[in-house]
Structure 1
Amino acid sequence: MTPEHLTGLKRPALPGLPAVPGEDLAGVDESTWLDVIHKMDEVYSQLVADEVALEEKNAQLEQSQRFIFSLLEAMSDVLAACNSAGEIEETNAALCELVGRDERALRGSPLTRLMADEASAARIRQVLDTPALQRGGTVVEVELRDAQGQRVPVDFNGTPRFDASGRRVGMVFVGRPMGELKRAYHQLREAHEALKRTQQQLLHSEKMASLGRLVAGVAHELNNPISFVLGNVHALGRYGERLRTYLGAIHAGAAPVALAELRRKLRIDHLLADLPSLMEGTLEGAQRTADIVNGLKRFSAKDRGEIAPVDLNGVIERAIHWVQKGTAPAFTVHWQPGPPCHAMGNAGQLLQVLMNLVQNAYDAAAARVQDGSGATTPTLWIDGQCDGPLARLTFRDNGPGIADEHLSRLFDPFFTTKPVGKGTGLGLSISYGIVEQHGGRLLAGNHAEGGAEFVLELPRCADPTPATAA
């Protein structure tokens, strides 16, 4: 714009002053007008920038509002934001659905009107009237009236709401209807009870399997003395008939010649000579049976929790004896009892552990013998060390060993590598638990020369006197 262009221009009206008609602005130079135009451009640009920023802020605010509303709608817990008078200012879909009223009907109404009884309303009022309520809030148990008019227990967490100056302006109540949780808890409890019953049945099954092995050994062990006693009793019965016949002839006054013939015919002299051995054999068989029963009584303290010093040498010998007599007659066990070694524990439970280890060793070695990949005789080596505070027993068999992928699962319940019907998968798991209860450890691995190796460690105790030894 040139000075010629400025000729004839009038001074623009200033704020508060009217323009002077026909006033000549020829005295205003070009730089002044350029500054004015530049300032106008700056103001306009600033107005445009402020408008853009305002629109962005509005968009962000709208997005934040939609986000908050989406959170409120997605909440499964019921929510009610109240003012200081307890009137609902904001709620969510979960509460509306529970009480069967829309948000507009709830907004502005007292929260206490949603309660099912006066006691619940009184608890809400008490929370609202507590001025020193902590920022962490408090939990109040109330009952709401749902859309069907039924009482619904709800645990409300009431938290105070503050304004920018830190003044308390209301409360926020967030809660979850407990009916669903109670049903879930009831189902969980039923499932737990069913699991406990199943576990007890499985434990009983494993105990019965162990008992079956023990009974097989006991039956074989008792068979010989009982058969011997039974045979002797039959012989004694026949001898008694002969003696009754001979004494009857004597009492009848038979002639000496007739008595001598009857004595020879009934073999009375042989009978009298055989009676001591028959009586001695019968007593020996009865004593052997009594010893077996007493041995069973010493090692049958199951489920009674009897804790006493236990002779580990005796328990090992008894476990080997019952397994060999029961299910593994062709089983070679290399075991040499060492010095007396005692551990504090339950004799019956430790016998169950050792029988399980011996039986598993036989099963593994026998399976390898049957498929022709191993030796001709299942064999077990047992080594005992009783030095220091621990008693250490090592069991090594000549079976195929333990696969690497099975080592970490060996003591898991229900895990077994035996065919279906041959094992419950609980033997080693139960044994592991028993050893832990005794303060010991049960370890498994493979021996360098082949076969599986189990190591049992138990805390030692002082050797008891003979009168108190197990």
Structure 2
Amino acid sequence: MPPAPRHASLLPPAAPGLPGPELEGVDESTWLDVIHKMDEVYSQLVADEIALEHKNAELEQSQQFIFSLLTAMSDVLAACNEAGCIEETNAALCELVGRPEQALRGLPLTELVADEGGAARIRHVLATPAPQRSGTVVEVELTDAQGQRVPVDFNCTPRMDASGRRVGMVFVGRPMGEIKRAYHQLREAHEALKRTQQQLLHSEKMASLGRLVAGVAHELNNPISFVLGNVHALQRYTERLRTYLGAVHAGLPEAERAALRVKLRIDHLLADLPSLMDGTLEGAQRTADIVNGLKRFSAMDRGERAPLDLNGVIERAIHWVRKGTAPGFEVVWTPGPPCMVMGSAGQLLQVMMNLIQNAWDAASGRPGVTPRLEISGHGDGRWTRLAFADNGTGIQPEHLTRLFDPFFTTKPVGKGTGLGLSISYGILEQHGGRLWAENRPGGNGAVFLLELPHLQTAAPA
């Protein structure tokens, strides 16, 4: 900034040898005051100019910041006046509708709407005298650059001037096409996950059933062999009866018929028939019971629930595991009073079998120790609780938090799928119960605990 001119340069020069010019009533001090005031005004003008430059720079920065925000917004924006004409927009809306910003300014927002219903909703919001400051949501469809309809949820808020008077509306919306597509993909993934879960559940049930095939075959062999032997005896008895009846119908003398009766042992045959038939029926019924039990266990569970006694479920699970893979398993279980819950018999049977089978796998791994499982239960009127305590090697502390993770297993490769406990956990959770594990005191095995709502407080299926 150039230095302010001094007062000496403003005075008119005096001629050589002549006195300087003088004004009437104005002395030198007055001129000094005038020059001082001029100096102050000039300094103030310079300061104001510097401040104005700062303000212009700040304004430019603010404008650039607002422009960068509008450009970066993924939501479409349209600032309209009271008539609904667009005064300001952003790059997202321009890109969506395929028009430049200059073409959108002054254009009624309703012209971008694809149908008359959406335009009517926009006009209704514009005509509302006192819209909510929190915003009103309006669902419309805009026509994009390809002429297709794009659903947009607009949040409409009033735009005020300095005096608090509404001068227009601001419409901020997000195109819902991508969101709806993402939701559709999420729903498909969820359905696929549910199908996979059902397949895993069924696979685990089939794996459990496969472990029991040997025992089931042995158990079926007894009644089937019994029925088969009785049928052969009935065939022999039938031939003897046919021979005797042929003699009777042929009119043989009484003495010959009596001799034939003794020879064919008809009296013994008739005395043996009732017990033979009863035994055959019993064997057939036993076979039917075994087959029905297998069908209940192996069939795909449809989620049907009914009141059931856990005592019977536990007894059946012990029976199947012993017959299948653990014939020498010592299981201590004394059924108590009826333990009624609301649930699926097939699913809860699978849970009990998984826990008993896991206890056998853990306890049979200790050399010189007889595998043993103690099952105990109690209830408090609201919950039914069961504890499965084995004498195995226990659970490593770092594994306690991962026991119920899918595919996690400590068994050797080929000995376990890692799904049994995970599926059991999910089944109990669906029944309103829970399952957890801990080590027994002294490191002598592990205990799995489960609880289910008592029938009086059980949630409806």
With structure 1 as the length reference, what TM-score do the two structures score?
A: 0.78
CA displacement at 1:388 relative to structure 2: 6.3
Q: 1:115 to 1:433 in 2, by over 3 A?
A: closer
CA displacement at 1:325 relative to structure 2: 0.6
Q: Distance in 2 between matches of 1:149 and 1:437?
A: 48
Alignment of 1:343 onto 2:340: yes
Alignment of 1:141 onto 2:134: no
Q: What is the match of residue 449 of structure 2?
A: 455
Alignment of 1:330 onto 2:328: yes
| Contact 2:375 2:387 (8 Å CA) reproduced | yes
More deviation, 114-123/353-362? 114-123
Q: 1:149 to 1:437 in 2, by over 3 A?
A: closer
Alignment of 1:114 onto 2:112: yes
Q: Distance in 2 between matches of 1:7 and 1:260?
A: 173
Q: 1:141 to 1:350 in 2, by over 3 A?
A: closer
Alignment of 1:382 onto 2:375: yes
Q: What is the match of residue 305 of structure 1?
A: 304
Pairing 1:183-202 to 2, within 5 Å after superposition: 183-202=181-200
CA displacement at 1:7 relative to structure 2: 11
Determine which of 431, 435, 439 is the counterpart of 2:428: 435
More deviation, 149-158/350-359? 149-158
Q: Distance in 1 between matches of 2:143 and 2:429?
A: 53
| Contact 1:299 1:347 (8 Å CA) reproduced | no
Q: 1:284 to 1:141 in 2, by over 3 A?
A: closer
CA displacement at 1:437 relative to structure 2: 4.6
Pairing 1:156-305 to 2, within 5 Å after superposition: 156-213=154-211, 217-245=215-243, 278=276, 281-282=279-280, 284-286=282-284, 288-289=286-287, 292=290, 303=302, 305=304
Identity %: 76
Q: 1:40 to 1:246 in 2, by over 3 A?
A: same
Q: 1:56 to 1:291 in 2, by over 3 A?
A: same
| Contact 2:342 2:454 (8 Å CA) reproduced | no
CA displacement at 1:408 relative to structure 2: 1.6
CA displacement at 1:95 relative to structure 2: 1.5
Q: What amino acid is the match of 1:316?
A: I
CA displacement at 1:179 relative to structure 2: 2.4
| Contact 1:116 1:151 (8 Å CA) reproduced | yes
CA deviation vs aligned residue, 1:411-454 (integer Å, no higher than 9, x gap): 23444344555544443233234334544432211112322211
Aligned length: 441
Q: What is the match of residue 355 of structure 2?
A: 357
Q: Distance in 1 between matches of 2:259 and 2:287?
A: 41
| Contact 1:11 1:23 (8 Å CA) reproduced | no
Q: What is the match of residue 403 of structure 2?
A: 410
Q: 1:458 to 1:41 in 2, by over 3 A?
A: same
Q: 1:130 to 1:37 in 2, by over 3 A?
A: same
Q: What is the match of residue 84 of structure 2?
A: 86
| Contact 2:363 2:372 (8 Å CA) reproduced | yes
Pairing 1:29-48 to 2, within 5 Å after superposition: 42-48=40-46
Q: What amino acid is the match of 1:121?
A: A
More deviation, 189-198/386-395? 386-395
Determine which of 383, 386, 390 is the counterpart of 1:397: 390
Q: Distance in 2 between matches of 1:111 and 1:7?
A: 68
What RMSD over aligned residues (CA atoms) do the two structures have, in Å? 4.0
CA displacement at 1:49 relative to structure 2: 3.3
Q: What is the match of residue 3 of structure 1?
A: none
CA displacement at 1:98 relative to structure 2: 2.0
Q: What amino acid is the match of 1:384?
A: G
| Contact 1:307 1:345 (8 Å CA) reproduced | yes
Q: 1:78 to 1:440 in 2, by over 3 A?
A: closer
CA displacement at 1:304 relative to structure 2: 5.9
Q: What is the match of residue 22 of structure 2?
A: 22
Q: 1:190 to 1:295 in 2, by over 3 A?
A: closer
Q: 1:108 to 1:324 in 2, by over 3 A?
A: same
| Contact 2:392 2:444 (8 Å CA) reproduced | yes
CA deviation vs aligned residue, 1:209-235 (integer Å, no higher than 9, x gap): 344456654443232122122122213
Q: Distance in 1 between matches of 2:181 and 2:420?
A: 36
More deviation, 447-456/251-260? 251-260
Q: What amino acid is the match of 1:22?
A: E
CA displacement at 1:184 relative to structure 2: 2.1
Q: What is the match of residue 101 of structure 2?
A: 103
Q: Distance in 2 between matches of 1:415 and 1:86?
A: 62
Q: Distance in 2 between matches of 1:458 and 1:183?
A: 40
| Contact 1:157 1:175 (8 Å CA) reproduced | yes
Q: What is the match of residue 77 of structure 1?
A: 75
Q: What is the match of residue 437 of structure 2?
A: 444
Provide the secondary structure at the position in 1 that maps to 2:153: strand
| Contact 1:135 1:159 (8 Å CA) reproduced | yes
Which runs of no fewer than 5 residues in structure 2 stay unpaired? 1-6, 14-19, 457-461
Q: What is the match of residue 17 of structure 2?
A: none
CA displacement at 1:74 relative to structure 2: 0.9
Which runs of no fewer than 5 residues in structure 1 stay unpaired? 1-5, 13-19, 463-470
Q: 1:88 to 1:216 in 2, by over 3 A?
A: same
Q: What amino acid is the match of 1:365?
A: A
